[in-house]
Structure 1
Amino acid sequence: MPTHLPADPAGGSPVSSYLYRRGRQVLPGGLTRSTVDLDPHPIYMAGGKGAYVTDVDGRRYLDLNNNFTTLVHGHAYEPVADAVAQFLRKGTCFAYPTEHEIALAELLVDRIPAIEQVRFVNTGTEAVMFAVKAARAFTGRSAIARFAGAYHGAYDWAENGQNGSISQGSIRRGGTYRGAPESVADDVVVLDFNRIEGLDEGLAAHAGRLAAILIDPMPSRAGLLAPLPQFLEQVTRFARANGTLIIADEVLNLRQSYQGASARFGLEPDLVTAGKIIGGGFPIGAIGGRADVMDVFSSRGKSPGVTQGGTFAANPVSMIAGLAAMQAMTPEAFVRLETMGDDLRSRLAQAALSHGAQFAITGSASLFRIHPKAKPPRTYADALMTAGETVRMRRLARSFLEAGILLPFGAAACLSTPMQDSDIDAIVHTFERFLEDHTEAHKECRS
């Protein structure tokens, strides 16, 4: 890095600005993830400890992103760091299994009611991809149903329908990128989360060819929507009556409780995908579920119905880190996070109400989202932001950033175990200050 940095056109973050200009020379758009916020350039991080991160310009922030809800224990969690450090001199990965994958699998099987057996992969995208393949192999059918707006990774069939308009019972045509095969949409039925009207008809029209219904029990990207019990009951009733499997995508929402999201909300899936918190900050994904369905992956004495490998699948570093992180997530740890989350959501909602501001709060357990809406959205269509609402949310995110808090834009924010009551106070006070400024500015515009 040069001693004398060029001036930062945006002002205030010379090192981050320099790194972004440097990155654009060798990386498409300057980055390797399209989910990184650019306002006007990304913030480059130097490190983190506990609930806080420090950027390359020396600024410290309370982290409500935690690598998109992955770091349930925050940054540089010592039990994970110690366990990984002790193992690293023995190796990093092997072509053969280690006992560490068994230990993490045993923990998941013991905790998650729907999981009888597990296969590990490297990402949430892979977990969903192989869960869909397993459902196809088990049922002999090719089509899946999913709900508009929910994010399930980058597998063509899983991402088809995550954006765009909603058409009850219809198949969404086209993919999420230019050139995506239109034929993919022929095997994807897109419906609206929480909308009971037309659900049976939309599913029934394709009953004979639906291998699975792919559902995030509380879809974050679609608005962190609380599932209606009768909606989940209707999905389950159809699946059981028509031999269709239910895939619960809990890559993000496994942090909902000690037993995960499905158990919390009363869903009984055949397959569960997991990731994020189960890796302790290292790359991971997992497919779990009924033993008879998971048997499609088995090659013992036969050719597997679905061949699943991966050079780094079940690598011991991720297994060891994940085990240390999950062992520390006791029932008491989940309760403490949920208590803080309940307090935060209640105080944020009360602040909006007392200021007469059109902001609503969604979420549960350690997750929350602030919406520029008069009331919490129930469906994906309700959660979509207008241009004006987008501007308001961008102002809110900037206000938090200026106060030293990283609030994700258009995604779930999350709490982590090292957070204290003082951190919750800081979040609420920052929101209140924004509302006060927003109210005063609105008054000035009207006068």
Structure 2
Amino acid sequence: MQLAIPRPGGSPGEISAQLAQRAMRVFPGGITRNTVDRDPGLYYIGWGQGAHLHDVDGRQFLDLNNNFTTLIHGHGFEPVVDAVTRTLRDGTCYSNPTVHEIALAELLCDRVPAVEQVRFVSTGTEAVMFAIKAARALTSRPGVAKIEGAYHGAYDWAEVGQMGSPVTWGPPDNPRPVPAYHGQPSAVLDDVVILRFNDIEAAVTRIKANASRLACILIDPMPSRAGLMAPDPAFLEAVTRVARENGILIVADEVLNLRQGYEGASARFGLDPDLVAMGKIIGGGFPIGAIGGKRGSMAVFGTALLSQGGTFSANPVSMVAGLEAMRAMTRDNFNRLETLGEGLRARLQASIKHAGAPFSVSGSASLFRIHPKTVAPSEYREAFLNPAESRAVTRLDHFMKDHGVLMPKGAASSLSTAMTTSDVDLVAETFEKFLDTQDFQHDE
């Protein structure tokens, strides 16, 4: 796509602002997904290449969002572009299967220890939804236990508890199933049990108390939106043990965190799930989701107990794009991203210490998140931002954008294989400059 060229004397972002006015006439709120960053205004993208984005106003940005961690190779990754171009000439979707879906499924089964069989869908939300449905079909129970503050897509039972605040989330030992939207049915809330991440004693107690109605425990090994905090191995072990003792399935949501390593997040953090929801990086930048798991758990998809379909499930474009993207993610490439991530997190933390700033850093592998808190959170309530902390995050977000770095606000930033040490230097140096501009003694 050719960039629109700002007219001489035009203000920065003028073309994006004009497009935003057009969008307001045809989209509620001017956008088609609420996760789009609108602060201080919309940035309409003209094109992307490698680690960078270029907007319609001619501005260039280092992209740490990567469409919410999806683009592990950055933009315009040539092997994906070539494979998709060839596939488009043959046709984009059929009601019959293709060899491409077998190849991508074989790759996932070979890599991810907990995955012996796969079913493809079109989104991460669908992957989580069908994993929960499979657990229900296998156990004949309706209930879902999930981590407070964790995001798992837009399925009703997976959404509960992701939006809690000090006003709504209830006591620490009895967190409430906070609705995700106005009018969410109370019957949905009744079938969701909220657990606090890394709180071993309370989690075990609540799982046991509700065991007879729980089909599964839905758990992201490193909850991103809830704080991107590291799991306590003892917590994962305790939750798994009590689940096994009570016939409850473990569903790992690795839609985002499969990028934690060559074998995924569960293998990295010591979780042994029955079912795994996957997405994002396995589609090479195209819509995708997948449910994988042990052969015994996946067998339910081949019976009358659970029907699963989807017009665009396993479409050949997503299959070939995902296959090329995943083939390129060798152990060496995962290790390189990990090295870049470790180095960047260390430099960010060193800058914070030098400045005596009330910030901290969480994350692992190619993911990181900067918190306006002295100590990195270990669970959602610690990660929740008060008004002063929210203002600090906004200042950071604006400063980074003004200096050519796009970071997702309040979510995980991600590195891509297209990034170089110079790109990491830019992030670290820009953050250091930001800290130099702040007066932490008078920040209220």
**TM-score normalised by L of structure 1:** 0.95
Q: CA deviation at 1:196?
A: 1.6
* Contact 1:147/1:215 (8 A) holds in 2: yes
CA distance in 2, matches of 1:201, 1:168: 13
Say yes or no: does 1:193 pair with 2:208.
no
Is the partner of 1:236 in helix, strand or coil? helix
Q: CA deviation at 1:37?
A: 1.1
Aligned-CA RMSD value: 1.7
CA distance in 1, matches of 2:221, 2:108: 18
* Contact 1:174/1:184 (8 A) holds in 2: no
Distance 1:357 1:87, change over 3 A: same
Code of the aligned partner of 2:218:
L
CA distance in 2, matches of 1:3, 1:102: 45
Q: CA deviation at 1:235?
A: 0.4
* Contact 2:4/2:58 (8 A) holds in 1: no
Say yes or no: does 1:254 pair with 2:258.
yes
CA distance in 1, matches of 2:158, 2:213: 16
* Alignment-derived partner of residue 218 in structure 1: 222
Matches within 5 A, 1:158-237: 158-164=158-164, 165-168=169-172, 170=174, 172-173=176-177, 175-237=179-241
Q: CA deviation at 1:3?
A: 10
* Contact 2:4/2:56 (8 A) holds in 1: no
CA distance in 1, matches of 2:156, 2:79: 37
* Contact 1:141/1:209 (8 A) holds in 2: yes
* Alignment-derived partner of residue 328 in structure 2: 328
Distance 1:437 1:321, change over 3 A: same
Say yes or no: does 1:55 pair with 2:59.
no
Q: CA deviation at 1:171?
A: 6.7
Is the partner of 2:312 in helix, strand or coil? coil
Q: CA deviation at 1:305?
A: 1.3
Code of the aligned partner of 1:392:
A
* Alignment-derived partner of residue 243 in structure 1: 247
CA distance in 2, matches of 1:155, 1:244: 20
Q: CA deviation at 1:175?
A: 2.0
Q: CA deviation at 1:119?
A: 0.2
Code of the aligned partner of 1:185:
L
Is the partner of 2:154 in helix, strand or coil? coil
Code of the aligned partner of 1:242:
N
Q: CA deviation at 1:40?
A: 2.7
CA distance in 2, matches of 1:169, 1:375: 22
* Alignment-derived partner of residue 274 in structure 2: 270
Code of the aligned partner of 1:428:
A
Q: CA deviation at 1:169?
A: 5.7
* Alignment-derived partner of residue 435 in structure 1: 435
Is the partner of 1:24 in helix, strand or coil? helix
Is the partner of 2:432 in helix, strand or coil? helix
Aligned residues: 436
CA distance in 2, matches of 1:36, 1:52: 18
Q: CA deviation at 1:170?
A: 4.0
Query: Structure 2: which 5+ residue stretches go unaligned?
Result: none
Code of the aligned partner of 2:288:
I
CA distance in 1, matches of 2:108, 2:195: 30
Distance 1:166 1:248, change over 3 A: farther
* Contact 1:194/1:228 (8 A) holds in 2: yes
Q: CA deviation at 1:379?
A: 1.0
* Alignment-derived partner of residue 78 in structure 1: 78
* Contact 2:368/2:414 (8 A) holds in 1: yes
* Contact 1:160/1:172 (8 A) holds in 2: no
Identity of aligned residues (%): 58
Distance 1:4 1:114, change over 3 A: closer
* Contact 2:163/2:178 (8 A) holds in 1: no
Matches within 5 A, 1:329-344: 329-344=329-344
* Alignment-derived partner of residue 426 in structure 2: 426
Matches within 5 A, 1:7-46: 12-46=12-46
CA distance in 1, matches of 2:179, 2:362: 28
* Contact 2:114/2:276 (8 A) holds in 1: yes
Code of the aligned partner of 2:328:
A
Q: CA deviation at 1:174?
A: 5.2
Q: CA deviation at 1:197?
A: 3.0
